[in-house]
A and B are shown apart, each in its own frame.
Chain A
Amino acid sequence: MNKIVKSNWPALAFLIVLLLAALLLAVGTGAVKISAPEIIGILAKGDDSVNASIIIDIRLPRVLLAAVAGAGLAAVGGVMQAIFKNPLVDSYTLGMSSGAAIGAVISIITGLNVSILGIETTGVFAFLGAVLTLFFVYGLAYTRSRISINSLLLAGVAVSYFLASVISFLMMLNHEKIDHIVFWTMGSFSMATWNEFGISSIIILPSLAVLFFYTRELNMLVMGEDAARHLGVNTAALKNILLITSALIVGGVVSTGGTIAFLGLVAPHIIRLVIGSDNKRVIPYSALLGSILLVLSDTVGRILIQPAEIPVGVMTSIMGGPFFIFLLRRQKGK
Chain B
Amino acid sequence: MDDQIRVEKLSFSYDVKKVLEQINMEINKGSFFCIIGPNGSGKSTLLKVISAALKPQKGVVYVEGIDISHIKNRSVAKLISFVPQNTSLEFDFKVSDIVLMGRYPYINKFIGEKQEDLELAEKAMQYTNTLFLKDRSFMELSGGERQRVILAQALTQNTEILILDEPVSHLDLQHQMEILNLIKKMCVDKKLTAITVLHDLNLASAYSDYIVMMRNGEIKKRGTPFETLTASGIKEIFDTDVYVSVSPVGNKPYVYALARPDVEKKGIRVHIICGGGSGSEIIGRLYSEGFDLSSGVLAIGDLDWKVSKENNVQIAEEIPFAGISDEAYAKNKELAEGADVIVLTGLYFGKSNKRNLELLLEKSLEQKPLFILDNESFAERDYTGGSALQLYDSIKGRDNSMLIESKRLSEEILKVVGAHE
Contact = CB atoms under 8 A, between A and B. Distances in A.
A229 interface: yes
Contacts of B268: none
Contacts of A219: 93, 97, 101
A34 interface: no
Contacts of B81: 230-231
Contacts of A231: 77, 81, 101-102, 104-105, 153, 157
Interface string A209-244: 000010010011011101101111110000000000
A1 B114 CA distance: 10
Interface stretch (B3-11, B83-91, B228-236, B366-374): B83-91
B104 A87 contact: no
Q: Which range contains the number of B residues in contact with the other chain?
A: 20 to 34
Contacts of A82: 91
A329 interface: no
B76 interface: yes
Q: Which range contains the number of A residues in contact with the other chain?
A: 20 to 34
A272 B92 contact: yes
Contacts of B157: 231
B208 interface: no
Given A230-B80, A272-B92, A278 B97 contact: yes
A115 interface: no
Given A1-B113, A224-B84, A233 B73 contact: yes
Given A220-B104, A227-B82, A230-B80, A272 B73 contact: no
B78 interface: yes
B104 A233 contact: yes
A222 B109 contact: no
Interface string B379-393: 000000000000000
Nearest to B107: A216
Contact of B84 (A1, A87, A227, A232): A227
A85 B101 contact: no
Contacts of A229: 53, 73
B294 to A, nearest CB: 52
Nearest to B82: A230
Contacts of B105: 231-232
Contacts of B84: 224, 226-227
A85 B139 CA distance: 14
A64 to B, nearest CB: 30
A144 B100 CA distance: 32
Contact of A223 (B74, B87, B94, B100): B87
24 contacts: A1-B113, A81-B91, A85-B89, A144-B14, A216-B107, A216-B109, A220-B104, A224-B84, A227-B82, A227-B84, A227-B87, A230-B51, A230-B80, A231-B104, A231-B157, A232-B77, A232-B78, A232-B105, A233-B104, A234-B74, A276-B92, A276-B93, A277-B91, A277-B92
Interface of B: 14-15, 51, 53, 72-74, 76-78, 80-82, 84, 87, 89-94, 97-98, 100-102, 104-105, 107, 109, 113, 118, 153, 157
